[in-house]
Amino acid sequence: MSHGGIPVGQKGDDVLCYFLDQDAAAKAALEMINKPHGTLLSVHAGVHHGPIVFAENGIFGETVNLTARLAAAANPSEACVSESVASYLSPDIKQLLTPIGPLHLKGVSDPVKVYSMRPPTDGLSTVVHTPTLIDRGLSRGSQSSSFTLILYHDDRSWRCREGDEIKIGRSKQCDVVMPQPWVSRLHAVLNMKNGKLMLTDRSSSGTYVKFENEREVHLKREAVMLAGGGLISLSLPTHHANARPLEFEVVRR
């Protein structure tokens, strides 16, 4: 490999390599995920640092397993980088990182602090702005106390006001627990700050938001400002037969 990586195994479309330098590993991941325009191949990568066990038929150990979990959690054209790598990267590469963790990875007991790395030509963090009542001439002092988001699911409801945060996911530690197997342990977060109600996707599979005007947005580690009312579906489009969307409503107090 041009960046000094040593390939040690391949299973299906998965390729495992190790590097002696963190920057080299990160640059190799960037080159792989930065596919040329028109290429159909979608690449996702995981980069982790730690001890490994060498054997005749490959490398093994917890470091290898965690790296594989990071790659599985990455979206197409994204590399998930652990804190153990991020802390040693040079400044020019570190500026390409966006924190997305801690993530609960399959087979890993403790949450792992993870960063998203994308090529410098991509937007690292996209915010989809939807015009809201907050934009309509309200004074800054009144924004923070004027609106409440109400979230409904089955026969339950939750309220999000200024300074509040609502965690949605499969984990019992979340405020809104959605037990479906396709839901991430921490899938999405709702919060209100300075009068802005934001939904942020924290999952590996994405979150769908359908607004009252029938426009549906697919978030992938991105954030959207909520207004009016609509539906939130985890991993699956809101119209999918197995989807169990949450309903949201933004009301003025």
Residue 142 lies in a domain: yes
191 and 96 in a single domain? The answer is: no
Task: Report the pLDDT value the prediction gives residue 37, as an integer from 0 to 100.
Answer: 53
Q: pLDDT digits over 92-143, tens only? A: 999 999 887 677 777 788 888 899 888 775 433 444 444 333 333 333 334 4
Q: Is this model's pTM higher than 0.85 or not?
A: no
In a domain, 184, yes or no: yes
Are 139 and 197 in the same domain?
Answer: yes
Same domain assignment for residues 17 and 107: yes
Provide the CATH number for the domain around residue 237: 2.60.200.20
Q: What is the Cα–Cα distance from 217 to 5, expressed in whole angstroms?
A: 38
3-state secondary structure of 24: helix
How many domains is the chain built from? 2
- Is residue 122, in this structure, part of any structural domain at all? no
What pLDDT sits at residue 47? 96
- The tens digit of pLDDT for each residue in 141-151 reads 344 457 899 99
Res 213 pLDDT > 90: no
Contact (Cβ atoms closer than 8 angstroms) between residue 117 and residue 79: yes
Contact 244, 180 (CB under 8 A): yes
Residues of the domain holding 108: 6-117
Sequential DSSP letters for 50-97: ---EEETTEEESHHHHHHHHHHHHSPTTEEEEEHHHHTTS-HHHHTTE
In a domain, 1, yes or no: no
Per-residue pLDDT tens over the stretch 8-49: 877 777 889 999 999 999 999 998 888 655 555 678 899 999
pLDDT more than 70, % of the chain = 85
